[in-house]
Structure 1
Amino acid sequence: MVPKLRVARPTSDLAPLVRFYCNGLGLTELSSFTNHDGFDGVILGHPHAPYHLEFTVQQGHLLVSFPTPEHLLVFYIPEHSQWLSAVERMQAHGYDPVVASNPYWDRLGRTYEDPDGYRVVLQNAAWEY
């Protein structure tokens, strides 16, 4: 059995992240919760994928975030037409690519900053490892 991966990250504002990851990247809201031990949150992904993303807001807690240009989530999309559709969807929702800190990601991909300043790469390549 292959375990599922959850990437969990705090935020100060869920709504813009949900728009970015659902409308822009095409993820689905799998679940959400309110006031679960002082946290509100949302879980995003694809229903049959072995990963999902969780974003949480801790009530009454001021979040200090320190994203860098090398904090990356990379989505490998080997089929060019699917990759192009993903890039066009980001553009249609008003998300413009940024120049990657590492030029490797600009060769076959596009890098975007989410509303919290963390970066997501849409890479037009197969995962080879």
Structure 2
Amino acid sequence: MAPPTLRVARAATDLDALLPFYVEGLGFDVLVRFMDHDGFDGLILGHPNAPWHLEFTRHGDAPAPPPPGPESLLVLYLPDPDDWRAATGRMARAGFAPVQAANPYWDARGRTYADPEGWRTVLQNAAWTT
């Protein structure tokens, strides 16, 4: 049995404001953009052949819920030092500076960034192991 495709979805306030962070900074592609799908506008971001996506939706003028606490993280493991340096450099060129992680574990081998709505992503220079 093939593993399922993972989609992480959340409400957002300003879809256009998120694009520089996720596309220019993190290097994701816009896989789908939709307008007024049953009253929702949205973006689906990721990489074309990856088994995961991020979805951001906005419904009319309804505000998005507030971001979670600083320990609710999206973590991207980049074990190759050159890939990690390229990713953190891309974030800097896109205008995003690291923020201090709430848990010092993430600052030891990674950098944490907050998107325009306060949601945090860690670029971790390590391989994920079980």
TM-score by length of 1: 0.97
Partners of 2:99 and 2:67 in 1: CA distance: 18
- Give RMSD over aligned pairs: 0.8
- The runs of at least 4 aligned residues of structure 1 exceeding 3 Å deviation read none
**Residue type matched to 2:55 in 1?**
E
Q: Which residue of 2 aligns with 1:22?
A: 23
Deviation at 1:71, TM superposition (A): 1.3
Per-residue deviation at 1:60?
3.0
Q: Structure 2 matches for 1:1-129, cutoff 5 A? A: 1-129=2-130
Distance 1:123 1:50 in 2: 20
State, as a whole percentage, how many aligned pairs show the same letter: 54
Structure 2 residue ranges without an equivalent (≥5):
none
Structure 1 unaligned runs (5+)?
A: none
SS of the residue corresponding to residue 16 of structure 1 reads: helix
Report the 3-state secondary structure (helix = DSSP H, G, I; strand = E; otherwise coil) of the residue aligned with 2:33.
strand
Q: Which whole-Å CA distance do the structure 2 matches of 1:62 and 1:107 have between them?
A: 35
8 Å CA contact 2:11–2:65 kept in 1: the answer is: no
Q: TM-score normalised to the size of structure 2?
A: 0.96
C-alpha separation between the residues in 2 aligned to 1:4 and 1:125?
Answer: 23
Q: Find the aligned partners of 1:100 and 1:63 in 2 and give their Cα distance.
A: 23
The one-letter code of the counterpart of 2:64 is: L
Q: Could you give the per-residue CA deviations for residues 93-115 of structure 1, whole angstroms, max 9, x where no partner exists? A: 11000000000000100000011
Amino acid at match of 1:47: P
Per the TM alignment, residue 63 of structure 1 is displaced from its structure 2 partner at its CA by 2.5
* Cα displacement (A) at 1:83: 0.5
Would you say how many aligned residue pairs link Structure 1 and Structure 2?
Answer: 129
